[in-house]
Structure 1
Amino acid sequence: MSNLEVRPAERICTPGGAAAPDRPGDLQILEPRDVPLGGPRAMNVRRTLPQRARSLVGAWCFLDLYGPDDVAASAGMQVPPHPHTGLQTVSWLFEGEVLHRDSVGSVATIRPGELNLMTAGRGIAHSEQSPVERPPRLHGVQLWIALPGELRHRPPEFAHYGDLPVLDVGAARVRVLVGELAGTRSPATVHSPLVGAQIDLPRGGRAVLPVDPAFEHAVLVVAGSVRIEGEPVAPSSLAFLPLGHTEIALDADGPDDDALLLLIGGAPFGEEIVMWWNFVARSHDEIVAARAQWQAEVRAPGGRAAGPDRSAAGGAGIDERFGRVEGYDGPPLPAPELPNLRLRPRA
């Protein structure tokens, strides 16, 4: 999904947080902020990464939770073609369907229990839409994974995984999206030591997840009344746990509702990154160059510089980087204006 904010902030993301956890058991609660995507009538999301208190969890650098939204009488999700660099996008649904198209020629409809994993590398463009025939509700998450420096200029690619492994831990049913958990490994290809998993915990249920002590972890409460390591965590909030934990205790203590959770984690990402709009880079200059290239391709004849062969446009004289999204009925999304400042990494 695109970051559709009209004034996205440039942000330096560094390993570690701005403040030490202030709760018993070194648990840090990261509260969400509401972000309207695309204007006053747009879909609202609850964003927990990045924020001032914490930029990254492992290589996970972006986390939006959206829905559940009624899309029966509306157009649902309609995100025009837009670019990405330097990251992998992880698209995961709890309800509904989303149709993905991209500039390497991929067309895939994602449904609950399936994973869309797009590796932007040097540059890719994609669109996301609610299909014409669709379930009435849409509920999901969009996450980004920062690519390590040596891989951030690699060719782009896309993969869809429809059969992900499931295991039972205590009362919980756990589906492993990426990485490995409790000896169960996802087939999805990622480029950093990571884990991502959906956890379904029935009301009154308890699970103690074995986790890698070399990872930092965070648990997003999607729905339900939950205690994490004994601490109550509200829906849409993210509970962060630093290195050293060998297990995470989860309790669904609500009288009526089952709990739905998302676990993310990974080895600390040892690189400083710069994020702006849909780009993950290492410097302000890289962001400026990526934006300029996207705008040049958007303004080329036909709205794109070239097709999925990633060659230059005939006669246009434009070195195409992001490519054309075939099959989307509408123009691509222009980039917002850059802020009038130069972002410099903090010490």
Structure 2
Amino acid sequence: MIKKTLYFGNPVYLSLKNGQLVIRLPEVVKSSTLPERFKQMSEITKPIEDIGVVVLDNKQITITSGVLEALLENNCAVITCDSKSMPVGLMLPLYGNTTQNERFRHQLGASLPLMKQLWQQTIKAKIENQAVVLRECAGEEIKCMKVWAADVKSGDPDNLEARAAAYYWKNLFKIEGFTRDREGIPPNNLLNYGYAILRAVVARGLVTSGLLPTLGIHHHNRYNAYCLADDIMEPYRPYVDRLVYDMFKEEGLNCSELTKEQKARLLTIPILETVISGKRSPLMVAVGQTTASLYKCFSGELRKIFYPEM
């Protein structure tokens, strides 16, 4: 089942009733002139079990602890945004799998050679997907990208990821002065927003598979709580890039500030179509297959992560 992404950009009351998320507008709730029957009819309810991601993008949102508890118990990722409407916080459940202790031990016991091999597979998949985006969107020559993908060694000691990234960004968005930088010119803002949504989806998938999203196979920043999510999302980034490329091509300089329409398109990332293990699948479902295969690599059942192919 495809989980839904809910975005709240206006003041709203979120409460829990009979296991359902109840959505109410403050103006309706506070009104003394509207009849009670009308107030009840204005309530919108959503089944908690159908929700995968919730984005809170307004300082006047009121959410009860009961809602947060129910969302987290159902492995939902809750994203909060800052004053610039950019994702700034992520809340995930403490446990998401019945055999979590055993899975943690397998993850913590993974050998260094295995970690390097998993990173090799990750970077190879990322560069291959980048090459497809570059060919489809910019019509660029990708022979060098194919060579770099094939040449990635265990642990990527030659840092072919960075070499491919430099070529990729130089040729994808042919904008004067553009470099891929969080604080850079548009469409960096679109990419930042999209990657934040993707990161939440991947982190949620890792928790659901009983893994620690903090302990990465390559990223080891002591201040980063989602190192493993940042690792595993790498081959999925090109899906965000392709969506952002289409948006920027259509809107150009109008992307300097994110609009509600642009956010709405970026919030479709969890349902973008992917191909994984030869089958078409929504991105969120594909991420679940990836994280499940990652655990099997840690437990010794598999030697390869399942990543999508563009």
TM-score scaled by length of structure 1: 0.26
Task: Tell me which structure has the larger Cα radius of gyration.
Answer: 2
**Bigger strand share:** 1
**Bigger helix share:** 2
TM-score scaled by length of structure 2: 0.28
Which structure exhibits the higher relative contact order, with contacts defined as CA atoms closer than 8 Å and separated by 6 or more residues?
1
